[in-house]
Amino acid sequence: MAVGMTLAVVVAGIGLRRSVAPSGAGSGAPAPQFRLPLIAGEGATGERAGPDVGGKRALLLHFWAPSCAPCIQELPLWQRLHEAARSPTSPFAVLTVAGDEADDVARFLAANAYTFRVVHDALGAAHRAYRVQGIPHTVVIDSEGRLGEAWSGARPEAEVRAAVARAGVVAR
């Protein structure tokens, strides 16, 4: 992930209820920052990554785990979003956060040919910063690093793309 990339964060949670999002979610408050090891995805080299709100792009940040059945069901959506984000002109990027064992996550991704980037949250720092109480979990952060919508549970692709569009990010 490019340094200085602005990130809109989308995080997904269990059930279709409103999640407990970071303080000020939806209010345009600054998104919480974190640094975690990048363990998988295109170009993964063990570098550390996290929401870096430098003003260039937005990020879709997705909290999930291979041990979570609803998470696994929606991972094809996150792969499609990642593929759309690969274009150099895409206004957004995709970063996912997994809390299961790093080796288990890497094996799961390889077995399923997923290529989106995954950071490992072994100690739960990002989960706490975004007040994730269940996975999958989604929060939208605009390209200026401000908090947008937040929800728990899987959502259809059209709803995720609409939430991104409302944040001023055009999901292609």
> What was the pLDDT predicted at 27?
65
pLDDT score at 147? 80
Residue 165: strand, helix, or coil: helix
Average pLDDT over residues 71-82: 93
- In this predicted structure, the answer to whether residue 23 has a pLDDT above a threshold of 50 is no
pLDDT of 53 over the 80 cut: no
Compute the average pLDDT of residues 24-50: 73
> For 22-45, what is the mean pLDDT?
73
Architecture of the domain whose range is 36-166: 3-Layer(aba) Sandwich (3.40)
- Going from N- to C-terminal start, the domains of the chain cover 36-166
The region that residue 4 occupies, defined by phi over 0 for left and psi between -120 and 50 for alpha, beta otherwise, is: left
Q: Is the pLDDT of residue 26 over 80?
A: no
* Percent of the chain clearing pLDDT 90 (strictly above): 28
HEC sequence for 86-142: CCCCCCEEEEEEECCCHHHHHHHHHHHCCCCEEEECCCCHHHHHCCCCCCCEEEEEC
Q: Say how far apart CA 157 and CA 63 lie, in whole Å.
A: 16
- Best CA proximity match to 111, nearest among 60, 64, 72, 85: 72
Phi, psi for residue 108 in degrees, rounded to 5: -60, -45
80-118 residues labelled b (16+ CB within 10 A) or e (exposed)? bbbeebeeeebbbbbbbbbbbebeebbebbeeeebbbbb
With a cut of 50, say whether residue 6 has pLDDT above it. Answer: no
What's the pLDDT score for residue 2? 36
Dig out the tokens for 14 from the structure: 């269990």
Angle at the Cα of 139 from the Cα atoms of 134 and 14, rounded to 5 degrees: 25
Q: What's the DSSP call for residue 32?
A: P
- Output DSSP code: residue 30: B
Query: If you compute the radius of gyration of the chain from its CA atoms, what whole number of angstroms results?
Result: 14
Which residue, 172, 66, 69, 46, is CA-closest to 117? 46
> Is the pLDDT confidence value at 164 over 80?
no
- For 71, the 3-state DSSP assignment is helix
pLDDT at residue 137 is higher than 90: yes
